[in-house]
Amino acid sequence: MLEYHSQKFLSFREENPVAEITNGELDSFWEFLQKKFKQEFAAVSYQTWIESAQPIKLENQKIYIAVPSGLHKDYWERNISTKVVEAAYEYGNQEIVPVVILESELKKPTTTAALNPTTETSENIQKKSPLQEAHLNSKYTFDSFVTGTGNQMAHAAALVVSEEPGTMYNPLFIYGGVGLGKTHLMQAIGHRLLDRKPQANVKYISSESFANDFINSIQNRTQESFRNEYRTVDLLLVDDIQFFADKEGTQEEFFHTFNTLYNTKKQIVLTSDRLPNEIPKLQERLVSRFKWGLSVDITAPDLETRTAILRKKAIAENLEIPDDALSYIASQIDSNVRELEGALVRVQAYSTMNNEDITIGLAAEALKDLKDSKHQAGLTIDKIQSQVAKYYKVTVDDLKGKRRNKTIVLPRQIAMYLARELTDSSLPKIGQDFGGKDHTTVLHSCDKITKLLENDLTIQHDITNLKASLKN
C-alpha cells in the first residue's frame, strides 16, 4: 500500500512540485486528521484510538505520534497508519509516514535520538543495530512464541535451524493458514542466531519486497549491489513466498540467490500459505529446491494453546484479565491468532472506555459484533454438504470421498468454498469434515471457486441459489 502510494506520489510530485508540510503545520495537519477520522470512525473507536494519541512532531515527511500502550501501538500500526498516509495526500499532496511510539518511551533519553531525524538520516543509518539491519520485529522471538499441538513440529525445526543454520534443514519451509505464526517463528530464528552471533548477516524480507527491490535494481541499474546484498547473507528469511506466483523474472533471480546461498551452506527459511507444489506458476526447479530441506506446517491452535497465547500477551501488556475471561475470548476465535489478538485489544479497549474490570460478561459484550456478519449463525458444514449434494444430485459421501470425476469434484469444491464463506470453521476443520482432507486441499478449492466466480455465470448462479437455500 505504502509502496503503491509512494510511487504514485513520486510521479505526482515531479509534475506538481509543492511546498513540504513542515513541523509548523503539525497542529493543522493533526486537526485535519481528527476531523477526518471523526467522520470515518464510530464514536467509540474514535475516543479509544484517536483521542488518546498525541502528535509529537512532523519532520522529514514523518509524523511522530505517541500512544498510551502497546495495544494502542499495534492497533495504530495495523489499522490507522495507512489511513494517515492517505490523509496526507488529501491534505497537501505529501507522503507523510506515521511513526507510532509509546508515551512511556518519550520519557526515555534514547528516544530523543530516535525522534531526531537529523541524527537518524546521517549517523544512525551507519549505526543501525543488527536487528534493524535484519528487519526483525523485536516481539517475534522464541520466548514470546507459545507452543501447542498445531505448531510443535514447526517450532522444533525452527529451533534446530537457529542453532545449526545451513546444515540440517535447508531450506526450512514453513507453511500454513493466515495469522498462525509463520512470520513470528521465522523471525525468531533470526533473533536467536543474532543472540548467539551478533555479527551474523541476517535478512528478513517479504517476497513482495524482494520482487520490488529486484525490479528497482533493474530500473536503477543497481543489480550488482542487489545481488551482493542478498547473496552474502548468513540467514535469508523470505516470507509469503506464494506471492512469487506469476513473477517470472523475480523467480529467476531468486533461483540464483537460492543456489548461491545453498552452495555456500547459508541457511534459507521460507514461509507460504501452502506447499511449494501447490503454489500456482512456481517454476518446477524452485518447487524441487524448496523441497530439498524440510517442510513443516502450522495448523490452527487448540483452545488450550489459544488461551496460553492470550495469557502471554496479557502479561506482556500488563493487563489484568481473569483466566475465565481469557478462555472465553479464546473460545470465540478459533482459526487465526492475529484475530485472537485483535479480540483481546477490543476487550481491553471496551474495558478502558467503560471503566470496568474485564469479566466474561464484559468480554462477551465487547465481542458481540465481532463475528463476521457473513457467517450465518447456526449454519453447519453438515447442512452445507447435504444442500450441495441435493443441488448437484450427488451424495454426501461423494463430497467427503476421494473420487475425482468432474461431476463430483466441482460440487465438492463448492461445498468447501461455502463452508469457508458461511461458517467460521478453520481450514483444517473443514478438511476434517470432508473425509479428513488436508487444509491445503480446502484452500485450493476456495481459490479455484473464487477464480471461477469472476467470469463463470453458471457458477455464479449456482452459488447464489445455494446461498439462498442455506438461509432457510
Ligand X SMILES: Nc1ncnc2c1ncn2[C@@H]1O[C@H](COP(=O)(O)OP(=O)(O)OP(=O)(O)O)[C@@H](O)[C@H]1O
Q: Which parts of this chain interact with ligand X (CB under 6 A)?
A: 140, 144-146, 151, 178-184, 240, 273, 309, 337-338, 341
In the complex, minimum distance from the CB of residue 144 to ligand X, in angstroms, rounded to a whole number:
6
- 143 vs 456, beta carbon nearer ligand X: 143
Q: How many C-beta atoms surround the C-beta of residue 175 within 10 A?
A: 25
Contact by Cβ (8 Å): 453, 464 = no
Residues 314, 311: Cα–Cα separation, whole Å? 5
In the complex, minimum distance from the CB of residue 170 to ligand X, in angstroms, rounded to a whole number:
20
Q: Would you call the peptide bond into 171 cis, given omega within 30 degrees of 0 as the criterion?
A: yes
- 23 vs 152, beta carbon nearer ligand X: 152
Residues 418, 428: Cα–Cα separation, whole Å? 15
In the complex, minimum distance from the CB of residue 330 to ligand X, in angstroms, rounded to a whole number:
12
Residues 412, 392: Cα–Cα separation, whole Å? 10
Cell numbers of 344, please? 483481546
In the complex, minimum distance from the CB of residue 56 to ligand X, in angstroms, rounded to a whole number:
25
Cell numbers of 324, please? 475465565
- The SS3 of residue 277 is helix
Contact by Cβ (8 Å): 67, 83 = no
Residues in the chain: 472
- 184 vs 412, beta carbon nearer ligand X: 184
Contact by Cβ (8 Å): 333, 343 = yes
Contact by Cβ (8 Å): 298, 175 = yes
- 333 vs 463, beta carbon nearer ligand X: 333
182 known ligand binder: yes
181 known ligand binder: yes
- 172 vs 463, beta carbon nearer ligand X: 172
Q: How many C-beta atoms surround the C-beta of residue 280 within 10 A?
A: 11
Contact by Cβ (8 Å): 261, 229 = no
Which residue's CB comes closest to ligand X? Answer: 181
In the complex, minimum distance from the CB of residue 140 to ligand X, in angstroms, rounded to a whole number:
6
- 309 vs 410, beta carbon nearer ligand X: 309
In the complex, minimum distance from the CB of residue 217 to ligand X, in angstroms, rounded to a whole number:
25
Q: Which residues are annotated as a binding site for ATP?
A: 179, 181-183
Q: Which residues are annotated as a binding site?
A: 179, 181-183
